[in-house]
Structure 1
Amino acid sequence: MSGTAILVVIPTTRGPLCLRGLSPRPGLPAPAAFADGDYRPLPWSADYARLCAPGGPVARLGAEAGAPHELRLSGSFDAGRSWEVPVCLAHGLAARGHRFVAEPVQADLILWATGAVDRDLAVLPGDYALLDKIERSRTLLAEVPEVPLAVLLPEGPERAPAEAAFLSLARAETPQILPAGHVPAAVEALTGPKGADRPDPRRHWRRVALPAGAAAAAGLVGLAGFMALAGRQAPVIKSASDPAAVAVSAEPVRTAETDPPSPSASEKPIAEKTAAEKPAAIRVEELRAPPGSSCRRVAFGADPPERRAVAPEGAERLAPTRLVPELCGLAIAAAPGLRLEIGPELRAAALPPVRLADGAQGFYLREGGRHNLVYAVHALPEAKARPEAGAAPPGERLVHALTR
């Protein structure tokens, strides 16, 4: 093994993170992930431990890959699973003798990858906001255009334009497009005869800077070494498609569903007007991705969600909400002096709630939580607090369904 120096880039919609280190730690009770310079495990470290547990996905990459490791990143992120593919690739490369560097200028190869995996290390298709992540990675990649670049792009709505965007970058070598279906196949593509095992030695020579005093003494040796190294053939990094045949396309236009026009005030029933004028103890709104965006971008804070109130359907029931692709989650708020109790059905299907700008609780649906469910929400009086005058009586309960 050549011990190729690899910079692993973990792109996010807030900018790229870099893998700082992946070190075996036999003394650790379980694998753990940390931010550089911090001793506290990252919030998603438990998920990393499950990924690397004995018999888990990473163990399929080899015995050393599944041993307890300490993962160090340049930063962290709040939610999502797109870190899984680059981290699994790093484990596979480390098990084959490769090493990782922290800066682009130190790298023999830059690996840019995103996506989630299943138990068998298959890469899950999905909307990973690829074009946005590429745009936010441009500055980092432009620092070293001469360093070979390998990318893994999961299947999804932006894969084709994302591949075209990478192939259009001004780089010394055409980026290598890795197999996107299975992590072991991508590792094999990187470590095969034309992968990361054969870095370009001439690029190493260009980076070596001899001290001025040693330059004369090393002149003859350096010249001979340069001639020997220059005689070796540089690696050929192939793409999955011919860049000449790929035209750079703009981000695909997404068509948003158009809601039917709401009835005018004169058309609304008298009972509905009366209910609207009465202060509500509970307010439930849909959180939707705006046109041209996605729920992944909304969940990561790249775009603000569109909020649409859920209409009442009865005294204690709300109109069902359709699980359309642009539905990202729900915002639930209580009147002043009241607190909320959310049913376990919604809490199990959503990420941990976040506090929105207006004080409402935001429940963003998990990738595996988009299924039919019915939950209840209660508004109860806060301890040592009384509802403001005019607020609905405490103890109000609403039932709401999410349906396909």
Structure 2
Amino acid sequence: MTGPSILVVIPTTGGPLRLRSLNPRPGLPASAAFADGDYRPLPWSGDYARLCAPGGPVARLGGEAGAPHELRLSGSFDAGRSWEVPVCLAHGLSARGARFVGEPAQADLILWATGAVDRDLTLVPGDYALLDKIERSGALLAEAPDVPLAILLPEGPERGEAEAAFRALGRSGALRILQAETVPAAVDALTRPKGADRPKPHRRGRRLVLTAGAVTAACLVGFIGFIALNARQPPVIGSASDPATGSASAEPARRAETDPPAPPAVDEPTPKKPTAIRVEELRAPPGSSCRRVAFGADAPERRPVAPEGGDRLAPTRLGPDLCGLAIAAAPGLRLEIGPELRAAALPPVRLDDGAQGFFLREGGRQNLVYAVQALPEAAAGLEAGASPPGARLIHALTR
């Protein structure tokens, strides 16, 4: 039996994105994310590949979740991790027979979710700008007010207000705010047969009230059951996981009265101040390839490029394992990269430490010399011998 048609909404502060398709692609070296009409993986595609890697978090959702997939979205965004929850939900629902559509009017169910996950697919609490995302999603949700809407929100400072904002939309279709703390639990709730929902014990300090009304939304093995929830689950305030409070224990203060005095302070060496510009080679690790690195299947090895003298760096050899370059500036400085490197590389991606990653195009592996300049946004102290703000570094790629 054909599963339900689901529109997965990935809200961002720039507006909502729609999940267009999610399909196994055995020909890919790793799972990859693309925007409609583009063959280039999105900037965060490497993170998606790691999320879906064999033995990774998504593999726990069953089906073909551990195989390479092609994820297609209506657009992209520059940074952030709030795409993880809706994408993981899509993998879990796909494993249970759901199919995805791109228009609200085509859907049996609209799923609106946001947030990051940890390795166990638990939602990570945080401030996800929920109210801003809801406001920007209003026009999309209004296109089909009679289609049932399911919501999954992480714990955070705006969760209560966000639940109230969804209830205030006045939709004629059923509204369900999922009370789940993990992606697998949310998938189970969405695919549970009608009438199978039962109140479950919750952590102390929370309460959950269930109404008797139940609405059928669609069918995976016969149907998806909706139970209307008219009481929200407030965030736990003051817990260790609450990013807004992070209460500290008073025990260290009490212990200080009986602990022996601390030993005399020892002079520590002064930490080195950062240089203005840092350039590193991105190389494929042994047994891998630059194609696997570019798709995020393997992490590159990062090797610092040594200074050669003056404003020049030692040349980098264009071996088959050279995938690209990572370039970073000290805090308070911004980078300007020469057009020679930009023309030979894919659009830069932001690496985990904030550096810009320039992965070489297949046709860009040729001798070139480029300049990189750090321009000050505010003056910053540099260690002796470092390139002063505004100075250029020259670097060559050679065969």
Hey, which of these two has a bigger chunk of helix by percent?
Answer: 1
Partner of 1:237, secondary structure, is strand
> What is the distance in 2 between the residues matched to 1:48 and 1:235?
28
Distance change >3 Å, CA 52–CA 361, structure 1 → 2:
farther
Matched, 1:351 2:354: yes
Matched, 1:241 2:230: yes
Distance change >3 Å, CA 376–CA 4, structure 1 → 2:
farther
Give 1:164's aligned residue.
164
Q: How does 1:344-383 map to 2 (within 5 A)?
A: 350-352=353-355, 360=376, 378-380=386-388, 382-383=391-392
Distance change >3 Å, CA 159–CA 379, structure 1 → 2:
same
Is the 8 Å Cα contact of residues 14 and 136 (structure 2) preserved in structure 1?
Answer: yes
Is the 8 Å Cα contact of residues 10 and 113 (structure 2) preserved in structure 1?
Answer: yes
* Offset from partner CA, 1:320-371 (integer Å, 9 cap, x none): xxxxxxxxxx95038xxxxxxxxxxxx98753469xxx96569xxxxxxxxx
Q: TM-score normalized by structure 1?
A: 0.55
Give 1:46's aligned residue.
46
Residue type at the aligned position of 1:95: A
> What is the distance in 1 between the residues matched to 2:393 and 2:25?
50
Partner of 1:18, secondary structure, is strand
Is the 8 Å Cα contact of residues 190 and 225 (structure 2) preserved in structure 1?
Answer: no
Distance change >3 Å, CA 126–CA 26, structure 1 → 2:
same
Q: CA deviation at 1:65?
A: 1.4
Give 1:92's aligned residue.
92
Give 1 or 2 for the bigger CA radius of gyration. 1
Is the 8 Å Cα contact of residues 58 and 65 (structure 2) preserved in structure 1?
Answer: yes
| Runs of 5+ consecutive residues of structure 1 not aligned to the other structure | 202-232, 247-253, 255-280, 283-329, 335-346, 363-374, 386-404
Is the 8 Å Cα contact of residues 193 and 223 (structure 2) preserved in structure 1?
Answer: no
Partner of 1:6, secondary structure, is strand
Residue type at the aligned position of 1:124: V
Is the 8 Å Cα contact of residues 217 and 226 (structure 2) preserved in structure 1?
Answer: no
> What is the distance in 1 between the residues matched to 2:69 and 2:82?
19
Identity within the alignment, %: 64
Is the 8 Å Cα contact of residues 85 and 123 (structure 2) preserved in structure 1?
Answer: yes
Partner of 2:140, secondary structure, is helix
Is the 8 Å Cα contact of residues 126 and 155 (structure 1) preserved in structure 2?
Answer: yes
Q: How does 1:5-404 map to 2 (within 5 A)?
A: 5-194=5-194, 199=217, 237-242=226-231, 332-333=332-333, 350-352=353-355, 360=376, 378-380=386-388, 382-383=391-392
Distance change >3 Å, CA 376–CA 6, structure 1 → 2:
farther
> What is the distance in 2 between the residues matched to 1:384 and 1:87?
41
* Offset from partner CA, 1:149-183 (integer Å, 9 cap, x none): 00110000000100111111111134111134100
Residue type at the aligned position of 2:10: I
**How many residues are matched?**
249
> What is the distance in 2 between the residues matched to 1:192 and 1:376?
61
Q: TM-score normalized by structure 2?
A: 0.55
Partner of 2:136, secondary structure, is helix
> What is the distance in 1 between the residues matched to 2:17 and 2:351?
29
Q: Runs in 1 of length 4+ with deviation above 2 angstroms?
A: 197-201, 233-243, 347-354, 358-362, 375-385
Q: CA deviation at 1:200?
A: 5.6
Distance change >3 Å, CA 170–CA 352, structure 1 → 2:
farther
Distance change >3 Å, CA 118–CA 16, structure 1 → 2:
same
Q: CA deviation at 1:198?
A: 5.1
Distance change >3 Å, CA 349–CA 200, structure 1 → 2:
closer
Residue type at the aligned position of 2:391: E
